[in-house]
Amino acid sequence: MNRARAVLFSSVLATCIGCDHATKIAATALLPREGISLAADLLHFQLVYNHGAFLGMGANLPTAVRIVILGGLVPLGLFAVSVWLLRGAAVSRLQLAALGLVVGGGLGNWIDRLVHDGRVTDFLSVGVGGVRTGIFNVADLAVVGGMLLLLVATHAVEHGGGIPSADS
């Protein structure tokens, strides 16, 4: 990987981890037990600790299985993606940034698991009326946003959208 690719990927990844960590610290320090609702409950801030993956998926798995998957396989997958990218995978700058979001978000939650005995700090849900998301964090937003951006960028590259490669 050339220097510009490495800087782009590393910058996106580090920004994700930093923002995720900072918001988790702020949520832990500032949110009252009952939570806070804003904008007619469009945004609801409530501190919870999640033993599962995104939106609690896998929280009911046996502890040993959760540890192997979330504590071992996920970071290995993130490492594999990073090595693939750093070895010069042919991806556009937008795809590289998208994968930086995914890896950064994944690492942000993995670091949180290491620090909090296998739990991830979540603190935000969005909803209108009776329809609400689960409670999530900035790392989750980075992973979902990165995946959506990757889909858009990949579609554009495959259909001649003119997105230059990261080496351009």
Q: Is 122 known to be catalytic? A: yes
Question: What backbone phi and psi angles, to 5 degrees, belong to 35?
Answer: 85, 180
Catalytic residue among 20, 112, 117, 122: 122
Strands in 20-130 per DSSP E: 36-38, 43-50, 120-128
CA-CA distance, 126 to 128, in Å (whole number)?
7
Query: Is 42 in a helix, a strand, or coil?
Result: coil
Q: Is 167 known to be catalytic? A: no
Strands in the chain per DSSP E: 36-38, 43-50, 120-128, 131-132
Catalytic positions: 122, 140
